[in-house]
Amino acid sequence: MVSSPAVLFGKGGTSVVQFWVGMRRLTAHWKPLILFEILWKLVTLLVIAPACAGLIQLAIQLAKLKYLTTSNLLQFLRSPWTILLLAVLLLLAALYTLFEIAAVCTCFRQSRFQKVRTTLGRMVRSGLQSVLHFFRGGGPFLVLHLLVLIPLMQFSATSGIFTAMGIPDFLAYYMTKKEFLLPIYVAAIILCCLLSVRWVFSSVLFTQNQCSYRSARATSVQLVRGRFWQTFFSVLVWNCCYFAALLVFLCMITVVVLMVIRATGSNDLIMSQAMRILKLLIQIVLWSFSFFATPICMAHLTALLEKRCVQMPEVVLPEPVPLSRSAKPFRRSTAVLTACCFTVAALGLNLSYVYSVFTGKANFRLALFQNPTVMAHRGLSADAPENTLYAFSDAISVGADFIELDVQQTRDGVLVVMHDSNLKRTTGVNKDIWDVDYADIQNLDAGSWFDPAYANARIPTLEETLQFVDKRAKLNIEIKPTKHGSDTLEQDVAELITRYQYTDACYVTSFSYGSLKKVKEANPEIRTGYLMSVAYGQFYSLKYADAFSLNKVFVTSQVVNAAHQQGKQIFAWTVNGMSEVRSLCNLHVDSIITDDPVMVQNVISRDSTGETLRSVLDYFIN
């Protein structure tokens, strides 16, 4: 027998505005909702997101690529394996969204004759039932609804898997680069808006009634008929309230950061750190709001659906899809078996991905949206004497990702951090490094040339530097072999890096490709970079170089893309202009070597934060 809407949903919606009904439902079931969302987000972070990243890695490898950039995007999308795996990802994303919607709607499902206590187990069971029901009564239109229409109509529903992986931003970026697609994009948005209003109740009906999605759509269209704009503005006002609350929190943290900046001054260092903190706080707030996005969205939809059903009792709710003769009722054992299979498969992908990351075998990178790292050239050499512990300490304090330093070898084989082969410029002693023992130079003044306040600065050894930095920053260790030095320079550097467990936190670079080969022979796990003052020809496939550190003049989009295709990284040196930083960021270089890391961080942070936010900050600070 088909249930009447009024019987199923009751008449409470006629006396109370559905917004307050939705809020009451949220507060009435806050305990199971919080518990479920915490566990679901943990599963997402620890299992689902890494598993999907593993699938993307697999797609890139099967497309015979190592980097994914704008230059090879079409090649990636044309691969049959890419199409197949993207289809799998879309299906998984739809099932992910459906599971969460069904579990959350369980809390809001009401019956006049029976009040059932909502438990976490009941929510999970409902989610699994809907996922299994997808293969009986779902279809491509349900995938469209879950992945496009719900995010479009319910802007607060941003907790889906696509948001975590950034795919919408990826597509948006590509659209902006292909202007002829803009009219198609706008037309698709308008069409989706119309469909999203007409089908607004279909996901709730599909999960709660276990009906076919086709009948759920038809019922939703009937419930919206004659009340299109009323439904549209109801959803719009609900989302405006959501965003108003979000905006209040964002304004609060922005004001606090501005007050701190104004109280402490507005120099470049403070601005750079403030922008980093502000970005972090904004991310925390956005994550917190997206945490409850699905419950907020579904609370409103179920309240609105209840009101529509009471207003339109003539609309008959769809019947459940009958089980086929071969189908068996859903049992706990089925749920356990399904969950176990899913967990094993997801954990397998997850562990393989994590293993590849930690062992350095994850040789792909989405270079399109990653900011370059910042390397402090010889430490913070603009504020302290170069290649001293003072300069390294200052570089760490301003948050440089890498410290670039130079290593040479004394006559007695000690590895010291120094750029010039002659000691005169920084110590006043006119001797070459290979003509002195470490005991002869360990007490030399290496700081007064820069400022008398640094008279106690000394030439550090590489071992002292590794101990001092202690992984608070990564290192770019440039080795400088000479014909006068020992043949053990590369071996000694590799041994120190291995001893202090810096293998995964440094690059060894050199103008000598032979030295890089020796480093790799000593420890193949150490990453190397080939320094080049002039860059021409097909150097990208050099076996013993994991990166190329190029004079900024020779860094072009062709060079960067060709290197990325070979799985190599590009460092640009020495970059001290804001316009140069922006240009190199647009070229997607992997790292920028600079004398002014604060300025580079400032440019990167401001550009990635957004022009509007940057303008607001500049207005209030200045």
pLDDT in tens, 602-617: 888 766 554 444 444 4
Instruction: Based on the fold, state whether residues 455 and 343 are members of the same structural domain.
Output: no
Query: Is 437 a residue whose pLDDT tops 80?
Result: yes
Dihedral class, residue 399 (left if φ above 0, else alpha if ψ from -120 to 50, else beta) = left
Give the active site residue among 133, 145, 300, 377.
377
Instruction: Based on the fold, state whether residues 377 and 438 are members of the same structural domain.
Output: yes
pLDDT in tens, 122-143: 888 888 888 888 888 877 878 8
Instruction: Based on the fold, state whether residues 549 and 451 are members of the same structural domain.
Output: yes
Instruction: Based on the fold, state whether residues 355 and 397 are members of the same structural domain.
Output: no
The share of the chain scoring above pLDDT 90, in percent, equals 29
- The CATH number covering residue 555 comes to 3.20.20.190
pLDDT in tens, 334-387: 556 655 665 565 555 555 555 554 444 444 445 445 789 999 999 999 999 999
How many Cα atoms within 13 Å fall on the side-chain side of residue 593? 25
In this prediction the pTM is 0.59
Instruction: Based on the fold, state whether residues 308 and 457 are members of the same structural domain.
Output: no
Is 588 designated active site? no
- Among residues 319, 337, 366, the one where a domain terminates is 366
Selected residue with higher pLDDT from 472 and 187: 472
Spell out the residues 6+ positions from residue 248 whose beta carbon is closer than 8 angstroms to its own: none
d(CA 202, CA 474): 52
| CA-atom Rg of the chain in angstroms | 30
Look at residue 153 in the predicted model and tell me its pLDDT. 55
Boundaries of domain holding 585: 373-621
- Among residues 366, 398, 413, the one where a domain terminates is 366
- Among residues 306, 332, 366, the one where a domain terminates is 366
Instruction: Based on the fold, state whether residues 336 and 392 are members of the same structural domain.
Output: no
d(CA 562, CA 528): 18
pLDDT in tens, 44-67: 877 777 777 778 778 888 888 766
- What tokens were used for 301? 């939809």
Instruction: Based on the fold, state whether residues 580 and 438 are members of the same structural domain.
Output: yes
Helix (H, G, I), strand (E, B) or coil at 622: coil
> Given pLDDT bands bounded at 50, 70 and 90, which one contains residue 271?
low
Instruction: Based on the fold, state whether residues 346 and 472 are members of the same structural domain.
Output: no
Give the active site residue among 419, 484, 564, 588.
419
Look at residue 540 in the predicted model and tell me its pLDDT. 85
273's enclosing H/E stretch is helix 268-291
pLDDT in tens, 291-326: 777 788 888 788 888 888 888 888 777 766 665 544
pLDDT in tens, 579-592: 899 999 888 899 99
φ, ψ at 539 (rounded to 5°): -90, -5
Instruction: Based on the fold, state whether residues 312 and 379 are members of the same structural domain.
Output: no
Instruction: Based on the fold, state whether residues 419 and 341 are members of the same structural domain.
Output: no
Is 484 designated active site? no
d(CA 218, CA 232): 18
Instruction: Based on the fold, state whether residues 448 and 473 are members of the same structural domain.
Output: yes
Instruction: Based on the fold, state whether residues 347 and 408 are members of the same structural domain.
Output: no
Give the total number of structural domains in the chain.
2
Look at residue 8 in the predicted model and tell me its pLDDT. 39
